[in-house]
């Protein structure tokens, strides 16, 4: 049997002991086993005795305690020493605390050592009905001011609430343990070893248990459990385990620390510390978890925060919570679920399959009555992963009414074949689409061997296919939208597109809008087609340069549509419509429509009038002008007129198919 209480650290916001009842128990032993006890037994023996002790003046007419028994016998011939007591019964009277009753079939009191002990049963009952305590074998030590019950301890404890003291109508805790200790000096009352407890709402087991008093209170309203603590709330199937916990009856709260684990319904988790509120309420999920929080939470329990992860969370007609909804993995430094308000703080991460959100803070408040939908906000180093793509920003706000996530604070996004940035990015989880606006920059990385999208002029540079380097196209605009199922990127407002790295001579495009479509293939995507509209300008080379790789070439049109070969290595066909203007070397051509086909390498300019000028001649009112890229020559087909600029050039007449001179070599 242990003789000393273990080290005990009471909570800082309350007293360490329910002093009222426990102090009465100890005080009763102290008064009964006083130095005068042996002197009350005349001749060293007594039978059917009753000893009364009165309060000091001015209450000296009131009995303080009554000691009675069947037999008392001095084991030291009436001299101070050991006394054997049979059928001991002690009653202490207290106007405020009521009557306290202590009963023991046998007891040995050692007057010299100031100790009382017995291998038999001890029964203690308080008049306030707060405490009933019994066990087999006890030891009272006056010098150490301790009372120990050594075996088979059973207790009934009624905890006070904040509003009323415990009464016979208060549901009691029934507690059992191997042994019990009350240390009056340190005000500790502790149940030890194999402790179990249960009341109408919950049950628990632990290694040690203390019954405590609240702040400025001498009545019992808390219990503190330590070592292998397991709590189970009957009303809502709430299960908790920890190294240490404090349960407050009045607040209906429980604080757990050290290796905390819990589950309630389909929610479960682990943390360093957890405070649960309204734990006995059937539908309560009020939890505040701190330190290395790891949880599995049904999507609906996260309020709108679960919407960050789903690409298909369009609301359905059903209002009931699904019994098999997705479980979201939650990690944070702190997680609070209070009154349907969700707050996650510090190193936050939500995960489900291939979708992950990380940030510094998530706030998902309870939806006000009449609100169109739920909202959630993530802030600080926000990173949202979906499949192989991710979005990074300082803030993300989700609304369940439209399924949109609005990213602000320098949002950036990446996918296997593109990356982008803007002042604002909106991801629609209903349609799996993106919309970016203001200072949009998007870069597409095409598979090695792909041809530049804007490189189709005569004397164009060598194809990229001669290297293993991928082709990167950078596009700037005011807005950008894309839908995964369409494989299209749509740009509008001051569109500027170019191949990078840029050296000033790189192929480039400007227009009011641009639609770029990629072939399927993720990281191995190629450009399939693009369409530019409004003030389209396609350039290559450096303005003013007429020779070499940087020779300037330019085409203008109202609209421009191009399609690449299926392997992406070259242009297949193109159509330019409206106010077509073509300039390269010293040649300038105008028309209404221009087409190109890779099968014959012919660039055909039509419209009335169609004109072409260079340093040698001017062709005008032509029905058709044909640029043969393969032979690097121009010709007019159909009726046409021509003026000769070069001295000595002779024109015999106009023919239906007029062959123009070969263009000068660079």
pLDDT at residue 241 tops 90: yes
By C-alpha distance, which of 456, 625, 481, 645 is closest to 555?
Answer: 456
HEC profile of 55-101: CCCCCCCCEEEEEEEEEEEECCCCCCCEEEEEEEEEEECCCCCCCEE
Q: What is the pLDDT of residues 103-145, one digit of tens each?
A: 889 888 887 887 888 899 988 887 666 678 899 998 888 777 7
Q: Reduce the DSSP state of residue 470 to 3 states and report it.
A: coil
Q: Cβ distance 166 to 214 under 8 Å?
A: no
pLDDT at residue 20 tops 90: no
pLDDT at residue 408 tops 90: yes
- pLDDT average, residue stretch 287-306: 90
pLDDT at residue 292 tops 70: yes
- pLDDT average, residue stretch 162-168: 48
CA dist., res. 20 & res. 218, Å (int): 5
Q: What is the pLDDT of residues 596-618, one digit of tens each?
A: 888 888 888 888 767 777 767 77
Question: Which of 2-16, 266-280, 300-314, 447-461 is least confident?
Answer: 2-16
CB atoms under 10 Å from CB of 210, counted, come to: 21
HEC profile of 403-469: CEEEEECCCEEEECCEEEECCEEEEECCCCEEEEEEEEEEEEEECCCCCCCCCCCCCCCCCHHHCCC
Higher confidence at residue 465 or residue 515?
A: 515
Q: What is the pLDDT of residue 124?
A: 84
Q: Cβ distance 99 to 130 under 8 Å?
A: no
Q: What is the pLDDT of residue 468?
A: 67
Q: Cβ distance 274 to 287 under 8 Å?
A: yes
% of the chain surpassing 90 pLDDT: 27
Q: What is the pLDDT of residues 526-543, one digit of tens each?
A: 778 889 999 999 988 888
Q: How confident is the model at residue 463 (pLDDT cuts 50, 70, 90)?
A: very low
Beta carbons within 8 Å of 276's beta carbon, 6+ residues apart: 238, 240, 253, 254, 256, 262, 286, 287, 288
- The per-residue DSSP string of 533-597 comes to EEEEEEEES-TT--SSTT--EEEEEEEEEEEE-TTSSSEEEEEEEEEEEEEETTEEEEEEEEEEE
- Peptide bond before 501: cis, by omega within 30 degrees of 0? yes
CA dist., res. 481 & res. 654, Å (int): 52
Element (H, E) at 225: strand 220-233
Q: What is the pLDDT of residue 93?
A: 74
% of the chain surpassing 70 pLDDT: 76
Q: Return mean pLDDT, the chain.
A: 78
By C-alpha distance, which of 292, 272, 307 is closest to 347?
Answer: 292
Question: Which of 115-129, 194-208, 446-460 is least confident?
Answer: 446-460
Q: How confident is the model at residue 329 (pLDDT cuts 50, 70, 90)?
A: very high
pLDDT at residue 652 tops 50: no
Q: What is the pLDDT of residue 212?
A: 65
Q: Cβ distance 229 to 242 under 8 Å?
A: yes
Q: What is the pLDDT of residues 30-49, one digit of tens each?
A: 555 554 444 455 445 678 77
Q: What is the pLDDT of residue 5?
A: 29
Q: What is the pLDDT of residue 451?
A: 64
Q: Cβ distance 428 to 404 under 8 Å?
A: yes
| Partners of 495 in beta bridges | 511
Question: Which of 93-107, 212-226, 642-656 is least confident?
Answer: 642-656
pLDDT at residue 458 tops 60: no
Q: What is the pLDDT of residue 187?
A: 66
Q: How confident is the model at residue 74 (pLDDT cuts 50, 70, 90)?
A: confident
Q: What is the pLDDT of residue 648?
A: 45
- pLDDT average, residue stretch 42-65: 76
Q: What is the pLDDT of residue 144?
A: 78
CA dist., res. 488 & res. 565, Å (int): 17
Q: What is the pLDDT of residue 164?
A: 47
Q: How confident is the model at residue 11 (pLDDT cuts 50, 70, 90)?
A: very low
CA dist., res. 253 & res. 443, Å (int): 54
Torsion angle defined by CA atoms of residues 128, 134, 140 and 145, in that order, rounded to the nearest 10 degrees: -40
Helix, strand, coil percentages in the chain from 3-state DSSP, rounded to 5: 5, 55, 35
Most confident of 388-392, 424-428, 587-591: 424-428
Q: Cβ distance 375 to 395 under 8 Å?
A: no
pLDDT at residue 14 tops 90: no
């Amino acid at each position: 049997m242990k003789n000393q209480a273990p080290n005990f650290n009471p909570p800082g916001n309350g007293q360490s002991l329910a002093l009222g009842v426990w102090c009465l128990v100890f005080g009763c032993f102290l008064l009964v086993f006083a130095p005068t006890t042996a002197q009350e037994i005349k001749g060293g023996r007594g039978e059917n005795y009753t000893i009364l002790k009165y309060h000091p003046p001015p209450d000296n007419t009131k009995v303080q305690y009554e000691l009675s028994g069947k037999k008392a016998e001095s084991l030291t011939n009436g001299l101070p020493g050991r006394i054997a007591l049979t059928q001991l019964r002690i009653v202490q009277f207290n106007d405020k605390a009521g009557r306290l009753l202590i009963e023991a079939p046998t007891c040995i009191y050692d007057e010299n050592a100031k100790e009382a002990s017995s291998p038999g049963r001890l029964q203690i009952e308080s008049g306030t009905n707060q405490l009933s305590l019994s066990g087999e074998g006890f030891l009272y030590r006056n010098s150490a001011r301790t009372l120990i019950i050594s075996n088979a301890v059973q207790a009934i404890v009624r905890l006070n609430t904040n509003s009323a003291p415990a009464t016979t109508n208060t549901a009691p805790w029934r507690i059992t343990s191997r042994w019990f200790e009350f240390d009056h000096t340190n005000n500790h009352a502790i149940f030890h070893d194999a402790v179990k407890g249960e009341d109408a709402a919950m049950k628990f087991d632990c290694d040690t248990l203390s019954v405590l008093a609240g702040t400025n209170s001498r009545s019992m309203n808390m219990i503190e459990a330590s070592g292998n603590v397991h709590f189970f709330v009957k009303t809502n199937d709430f299960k908790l385990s920890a190294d240490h916990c404090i349960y407050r009856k009045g607040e209906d709260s429980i604080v757990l620390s050290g290796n905390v684990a819990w589950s309630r319904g389909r929610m479960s988790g682990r943390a360093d510390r957890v405070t649960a509120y309204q734990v006995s309420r059937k539908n309560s999920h009020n939890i505040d978890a701190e330190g290395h929080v790891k949880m599995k939470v049904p999507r609906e329990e996260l309020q709108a925060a679960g919407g960050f992860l789903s690409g298909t969370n369009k609301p359905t007609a059903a209002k009931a919570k699904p019994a098999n909804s997705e479980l979201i993995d939650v990690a944070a430094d702190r997680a609070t679920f209070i009154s349907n308000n969700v707050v996650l703080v510090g190193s936050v991460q939500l995960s489900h399959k291939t979708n992950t959100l990380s940030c510094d803070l998530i706030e998902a408040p309870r939806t006000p009555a009449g609100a169109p939908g739920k909202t959630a906000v993530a802030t600080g180093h926000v990173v949202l992963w979906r499949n192989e793509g991710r979005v990074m920003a300082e803030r993300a706000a989700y609304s369940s009414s439209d399924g949109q996530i609005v990213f602000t604070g320098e949002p950036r996004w990446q996918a296997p074949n593109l990356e982008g940035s803007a002042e604002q990015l909106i991801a629609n989880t209903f349609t799996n689409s993106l919309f970016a606006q203001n200072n949009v920059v998007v870069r597409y990385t095409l598979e090695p061997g792909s041809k530049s999208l804007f490189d189709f002029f005569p004397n164009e540079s060598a194809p990229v296919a001669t290297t293993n380097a991928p082709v990167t196209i950078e596009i700037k605009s005011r807005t950008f939208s894309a839908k995964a199922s369409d494989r299209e990127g749509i740009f509008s407002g001051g569109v500027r597109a170019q191949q990078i790295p840029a050296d000033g001579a790189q192929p480039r495009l400007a227009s009011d809008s641009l639609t770029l479509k990629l072939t399927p293939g993720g990281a191995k995507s190629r450009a399939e087609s693009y369409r530019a509209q409004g003030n389209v300008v396609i350039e290559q080379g450096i303005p003013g340069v007429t020779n070499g790789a940087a020779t300037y070439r330019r085409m203008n049109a109202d609209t421009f549509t191009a399609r690449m070969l299926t392997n992406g290595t070259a242009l297949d066909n193109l159509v330019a419509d409206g106010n077509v203007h073509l300039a390269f070397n010293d040649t300038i051509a105008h028309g209404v429509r221009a087409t190109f086909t890779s099968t014959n390498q012919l660039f055909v300019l039509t419209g009335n009038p169609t004109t072409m000028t260079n340093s040698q001649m001017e062709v005008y009112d032509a029905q058709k002008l044909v640029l043969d890229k393969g032979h690097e020559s121009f010709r007019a087909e159909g009726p046409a007129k021509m003026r000769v600029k070069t001295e000595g050039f002779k024109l015999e007449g106009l023919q239906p198919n007029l062959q123009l001179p070969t263009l000068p070599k660079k």
